[in-house]
Chains A and B, each alone.
Chain A
Amino acid sequence: MKKEDRLEERNPIEDFLRMDRIPHIWCPGCGIGTVVTSFAEALSKSKIDLDKVAILSGIGCTGRVAGYVKLDSIHTTHGRAVPVATGLKLANPELKVVVFSGDGDIAGIGGNHFIHAARRNMDLLIICVNNFNYAMTGGQVAATTPIGGNASTAPYGNFEYPFSLPYLAEACGATYVARWTALHLRRVTKSIQEAFKKRGFSFIEVITPCVTLYARRNRLGDGLNLLKYYYEKSEIQHGADTRTVDISFQGKLIVGKFVDKEKPTFLDCMNEHLAKVLGDKYQPYGVKND
């Protein structure tokens, strides 16, 4: 019997990965792989047509996800996955378009694209892996580093106010906002499944360990220590006011589903508005048979 035919050797998520690209580049103890596992499980459980799901990443550790997931995938430039996703979604509205990237990519260099895609209620799912620092380049301070957190470009600790990403996403118009940690695997999976069903701008933040850089610089221990921290300090508060979910250095982590509402998407608004103004002259875009 060939090795790949032996049932016990097959990982159930293999079907969702480009196995010819494994092993991946992530460090032992890193949380990105667990989020990818949740994503694969959500794909599997949602039973959606995988041919119609596209995944895009920017640059950074999480930016490598698009390369490992076996879907149509585009590894874009730093911060630009969201506008590339916008173009893709508008070109082919039947696609479910997912942006899977890090905090530096989404909220730092790509912050402007992020807020505008949320404002337009572009029908995209954004999964943001937040490890509080720029890890690929060696642990620099980020727009998400808690005050007091140490980073290679904040060697005396960070003194800048960080973004609270769920608050930012909601304020800009996101219709689904959730935050979990890499410990909350099943809840991440469930959130992704829920977001797959939604039309509109969905945002899921997953706090993950960066063992090699952020944790080591800040003497937070290994991956297990961080998961223990998530276990002890995270508090599920569904529907929490996103103004109250700031993260302080090693402080309480408020997690849960904060926002889940319905609102017409960019294309809904475009079609409805132009049909109203232009009447018969307008042919609705992106509806079936287009």
Chain B
Amino acid sequence: MKKVKADPKGVLTGSHYLDGDYALAEGALAAGCRFFAGYPITPSTETAERFAERIPSVGGVFIQMEDELASIAALIGAAWGGKKSMTVTSGPGFSLMMENIGLACMLETPLVIANVQRGGPSTGLPTLTGQQDMMQVKWGSHGDYKIIALSPDSPQECFDLTIEAFNLSEIYRVPTFVMTDECVGHMHEKVVIPPAEEIELVERKWYTGPKNEYLPFKPDKDMVPFMVKVGDGYRFHVTGLTHDERGYPVINAECQDVCVRHLNDKITNNADKIIRIDEDQIDTAEIIVISYGITSRVTTRAVRKAREAGIKVGTIRLITVWPFPEKRIKELAKKVKAFVVPEINYGQVVQEVERSAAGEAPAILVPHCGGWVHDPDDILQAIKEAAR
């Protein structure tokens, strides 16, 4: 993994008052993203607008495509052309991207997709918040694959985690998602952008061996294959069909086994290195509240009140939602009375908590169907009931 400093051209060093959507764009520019293809969709459009405004003086391309199918397709082309590339969308556009998210996974293509989530299903609540695409980001395209998804809880984290998303996508050659939501996307807060030399980036894992020996899908020791770019004379082939290390299609169960296991194990076996969670007062906790994104900020108030009432509450904030910290949850399940899982959906990540807890402790959902954040008292109520 070759580390490099950020190119100062893209880094707007200073202290700013930005919304989450703008911070996503600034994070991308700081991370060296020089290709953005997008399609307007509320509540994510401001990211595309910001990128379109900023990129001409940084040096790169913004293109508004004809739809989200084309946006993600263009990202794949740009990534294989050597660029760091990004798009942003929300629920309906995210659904349209599913087809080529599968292709990006199959081609092991580094790229970043931000989803500023809104209430669904279908057109749902264009202007109001939701966290309802958390399972779609994991399973939405057909077939078995694994991705990385991060969940920022503030505009500052929209900036920070977009940079991290680019780094993870390059390290693991995998599409990486920044799963934010309308609340964080439209929330204005202070965002501190450090000097370029303090922003550490990971360079793509370029292949440097003999030209005729390049194999686009041969796993290296860390399971991640090396990459080249189109135009460098390798005359390589990549396909969305099940393929061997050469990238040639092989249509049988044996090759499928190798190919699909690789796509999944590459992330699963590196999960400990990828996963980031924030824990608070876990050691003494009887109840642990697990949340992510905007809901973790609402949780803070509920937890404070619960502690005032004498309940021993710990919190886990998922910074990476996928891969999921299942080992940690499994370990804690043996020590705690219950997990409380508030999320702005009708029960998604809670299923993963329940699975990881494997019957050792219940996982209590505090659902919210979207449109607004939880009332902290609803989370408090669930904590109290769990502690009883």
Pick the contact of B240: A50, A77, A87, A290 (CB < 8 A).
A77
A245 in the interface, Cβ–Cβ < 8 Å?
Answer: no
Q: Are A72 and B35 in contact (CB under 8 A)?
A: no
Residues of B within 8 A of A (CB-CB), count: 46
Kindly report which residue of chain B lies nearest to residue A286, judged by CB atoms: B61
Q: Are A90 and B59 in contact (CB under 8 A)?
A: no
Kindly report which residue of chain B lies nearest to residue A283, judged by CB atoms: B59
Q: Are A77 and B100 in contact (CB under 8 A)?
A: yes
- Shortest C-beta distance, A269 to chain B (Å), equals 12
A66 in the interface, Cβ–Cβ < 8 Å?
Answer: yes
B103 in the interface, Cβ–Cβ < 8 Å?
Answer: yes
**Residues of B with C-beta under 8 A to A67:** 237, 239, 248-249
Q: Are B81 and A87 in contact (CB under 8 A)?
A: yes
Residues of A within 8 A of B (CB-CB), count: 44
Kindly report which residue of chain B lies nearest to residue A81, judged by CB atoms: B73
B238 in the interface, Cβ–Cβ < 8 Å?
Answer: yes
Say yes or no: A80-B57 contact (C-beta < 8 A), given A75-B241, A87-B78, A91-B85: no
Q: Are A83 and B231 in contact (CB under 8 A)?
A: no
**Residues of A with C-beta under 8 A to B75:** 87
Q: Are B70 and A72 in contact (CB under 8 A)?
A: no
Pick the contact of B66: A89, A112, A283 (CB < 8 A).
A112
- Chain B 90-112, CB-CB to A under 8 Å as 1, else 0, gives 00000000011011000100000
Mark the stretch among A40-48, A155-163, A274-282 that contacts chain B: A274-282
B69 in the interface, Cβ–Cβ < 8 Å?
Answer: yes
- Shortest C-beta distance, A146 to chain B (Å), equals 28
Say yes or no: A86-B63 contact (C-beta < 8 A), given A66-B237, A67-B249, A278-B57: yes
Pick the contact of B77: A79, A85, A290 (CB < 8 A).
A85
Q: Are B99 and A77 in contact (CB under 8 A)?
A: yes
Q: Are A92 and B70 in contact (CB under 8 A)?
A: no
- Shortest C-beta distance, A108 to chain B (Å), equals 14
Give the interface of B toward A (CB within 8 A): 35, 37, 56-57, 59-61, 63, 65-67, 69-71, 73-83, 85, 99-100, 102-103, 107, 229-241, 248-249
Give the interface of A toward B (CB within 8 A): 18, 20-21, 50-52, 54, 56, 66-67, 70-77, 79-80, 83-92, 94-95, 112-113, 116, 266, 270, 274, 278, 281-283, 285, 290
Known: A86-B63, A90-B61. 7 other contacts (CB 8 A): A67-B237, A73-B237, A74-B77, A75-B241, A79-B69, A80-B73, A85-B77
